[in-house]
Amino acid sequence: MTALTFIQGGEGQRRVWRRELGDAGSPSAITVLNGRSREAWIRDAEGAFSIKWMPRGRAVYRTEGASHFLGGASAVILNPAQPYELEFLDRSGTESLCVFVSDDLVAEAWRDIAEPDGLGDGPPGRIPQFPDLVFTPPPSLLDELATLRESYGADDPSALAAEERLLGLLGRLVRAAQGHRRMAARLPAAKASTRRLLAARVERARELIESSSEEPTLDDLARAAAVSKFHLLRLFKAAFGCTPSAYAGRRRMERAKRLLRATPMTVASIGEALGYESTGAFVRAFRRHFGVAPSAIRP
């Protein structure tokens, strides 16, 4: 049996909804907290495996001496039994969606749903440590979180649908955590704890590339990662298999493809919007990347 607790609201208008899912005899538990507050400070000395997402407003999450900012589409997945602090920063109002999962469910998902990574650096039987980095979840995971946020407002959702959705979400969270762990394992550091810290830093640089409307400089990326430019180049290539400029170039080409398919913008306008000096330069870059001219992508 999985005990589901859904807590929604905040500041005097809280609603608690509980349900038991599946067969009896299991101590499994999942708690969903969809809270709203103008100011809040939370400290947990023994946190559960969880994801924290801020659909509205901003927050800072602190652990192991590091601070991570959450807001918009970004999220963080926390290790089991990891102490942390969470502070809401937006006085106009912050909304958080947090999903907490009991260790037995996480261990089962880690073993049976996701592919084992073979990086055993923890005690036997324990869920391996992964980096607690702020990242933009893939659209499929963001869709799951948004659906979770909206669907449990219903008075009596299907128990079958609820369990399917929650376990599907857990599978996606475990896969994301394992992906972060594999990325950290590629970084050039002797200690696993150092690799996890560096993974969080290099992810900040990648997120800056993803979120910037213009290509950031190497100085910008190094400042975001809090490492030197030389160190960043080593870390980025180890983590993502390419240099920051090559990664930014791929993102630029993907954006061009989306604009060609979804907007009436001319090829020249798209090239200009993406920073190319001429239409010819844009067309040549596009052809090198996709093997066809931009006009071939038009619907």
Q: Which of 62-66, 73-77, 138-142, 188-192 has the lowest mean pLDDT?
A: 62-66
Residue 49's pLDDT is what?
94
Task: Give CA separation, 260 vs 61, 99, 240, 249, 297, in Å.
Answer: 38, 37, 27, 17, 7
- Identify the top-confidence range among 31-45, 84-98, 109-123, 227-241: 227-241
Whether pLDDT at 2 is above 90: no
Percentage of the chain with pLDDT > 70?
A: 92
pLDDT digits (tens, 9 = 90+) for 63-75: 877 788 888 889 9
> What is the DSSP annotation of 131-183?
---EE---HHHHHHHHHHHHHTTSSS--HHHHHHHHHHHHHHHHHHHHHHHHH
Question: Is 70 exceeded by the pLDDT of residue 227?
Answer: yes
- Cross-strand bridge partners of residue 136: none
Mean pLDDT on 256-270: 90
Confidence at residue 156, expressed as pLDDT on a 0 to 100 scale: 58
Chain-centre distance of CA 97, in angstroms?
Answer: 13
Q: How confident is the model at residue 6 (pLDDT cuts 50, 70, 90)?
A: confident
Does 287 score more than 50 pLDDT?
yes
**Tens digit of each residue's pLDDT (9 = 90 or more) over 17-67:** 888 887 776 789 999 988 888 777 888 888 899 999 998 888 888 887 778
Query: pTM of the entire structure?
Result: 0.84
What is the arithmetic mean of pLDDT over 177-187?
Answer: 94
pLDDT band at 231 (very low <50, low <70, confident <90, very high): very high
**Average pLDDT, stretch 105-125?**
67
Cα torsion 87, 80, 199, 227 to 10°: value is: 40
User: Stretch 4-23: mean pLDDT, rounded?
Assistant: 79
